[in-house]
Amino acid sequence: MKLFSLKVFLFLLPIFIMMFSEEYMLRRIPNDYTKKREVMLDKEQEFQVLSLGSSHTYYGVDPQYFDLATFNASHISQSVDVDYILVHEYLKNKKSIKYVTLPIDYQSLFRRLSKGSTNWRMKNYVLYYDLAEVDNFKNNFEIMNFNYKVSLSRLFNYYVRGKDEVTSDQKGFAHIHVSNKSDLQLEEELRASAIKTAKRHTAASDEHFEYNTQVLRDLAKELKKQDITLVLYTSPCHSSYVELLDENQLSKTLDFANSFAGEYDNIHYVNYLQNPIFKTRDFSDSDHLNEEGAHKLSVLLNQEINKLEKAI
């Protein structure tokens, strides 16, 4: 029996070594999560505005257009419950923060990252932000979230081609260049993407609504204790996307945002969903801004914060 066990062990040993090596090497690839966490932990890097949220912030809020020092701590698909955890875990390192900006968009109150189709992204918070998630064991490992071909491609890209996975700049903003396509071609592409995106963002039920609204209330209370103002905004989207949204889900979102802003004196809300200053050429797809659109949104948010500064 001992001899059999030894043979099995020796047979499996190379496989375990290969898996361990693959996991170690994948975790060593620089990415946005490690980079942004370093900034959040660095007490020497002080800023006064922290921008949270999903891809609408990631591609839509450019800190260079704010008068106060600003950092974009958003990630693609980051949901409001994850935003709250980041604030709870990391804000203690940033005593200089006066404002937190957060989008409250069509899908914000109806989804949670850990419960959706992109829940594999939760492993990035477990592995690189040290946030505990006890209900999904596989999020403790890179190799359990991708098939072998994807992992091999990532390893090849970094260790052979020298291409890391950092896609944001030093202030956390990810640039999407303005398209050089014709207005007609761009309009057609936005309308095509709107059909798929509006369908994906429309929730099948309200199952996460109560949870997310309570998370936002907890966030507002925590920020108020630290004398921080929460600037909520609804991100601008192309008209082709807005036209396809479910009226009930949209009105429920906007109604909550307006009433929520009245519940606490440290909340300020503004709705940019159909703001006319955003034109077709400001969008990279039906619900994401390019860097020109991000310029406009960042200037608008900066103006709101400046108004709040003057009112103090």
* Confidence band of 136 (pLDDT split at 50, 70, 90): confident
The helix/strand/coil state of 273 is coil
Q: With the C-alpha atoms ordered 53, 55, 61, 64, is the resulting torsion angle positive or negative?
A: positive
- For 127, residues 6+ apart whose C-beta sits below 8 A from its C-beta are 27, 33, 139, 140, 142
Arithmetic mean of pLDDT over the chain: 94
Cα–Cα distance for residue pair 303/297, rounded to 1 Å? 10
In the predicted structure, residue 252 carries a pLDDT above the cut 70:
yes
pLDDT tens-place string over residues 196-220 = 999 999 999 999 999 999 999 999 9
In the predicted structure, residue 255 carries a pLDDT above the cut 70:
yes
Give Cα separations from 158 to 22, 36, 75, 164 (angstroms).
13, 19, 21, 5
- The whole model's pTM is what? 0.93
Q: Where are the domains of the chain?
A: 1-311
Residue 283's DSSP bridge partners are 289
Structure tokens given for 99: 């404002």
In the predicted structure, residue 36 carries a pLDDT above the cut 90:
yes
In the chain, helix, strand, coil percent, each to 5?
Answer: 55, 10, 35
In the predicted structure, residue 4 carries a pLDDT above the cut 90:
no
* Confidence band of 134 (pLDDT split at 50, 70, 90): low
Homologous superfamily of 1-311 in CATH? SGNH hydrolase (3.40.50.1110)
pLDDT tens-place string over residues 50-96 = 999 999 999 999 999 999 999 999 999 999 999 999 999 888 778 89
In angstroms, how far is CA 282 from the centroid of its own chain? 20
In the predicted structure, residue 312 carries a pLDDT above the cut 90:
no
* Confidence band of 233 (pLDDT split at 50, 70, 90): very high
Q: What is the pLDDT of residue 51?
A: 98
Q: What is the pLDDT of residue 135?
A: 66
- The arithmetic mean of pLDDT across residues 227-237, rounded, is 97
Q: What is the pLDDT of residue 168?
A: 97
Q: What is the pLDDT of residue 208?
A: 97
148 or 97, greater pLDDT: 97
CB atoms within 10 A of CB 158: 18
* Confidence band of 133 (pLDDT split at 50, 70, 90): low
- The arithmetic mean of pLDDT across residues 286-308, rounded, is 97
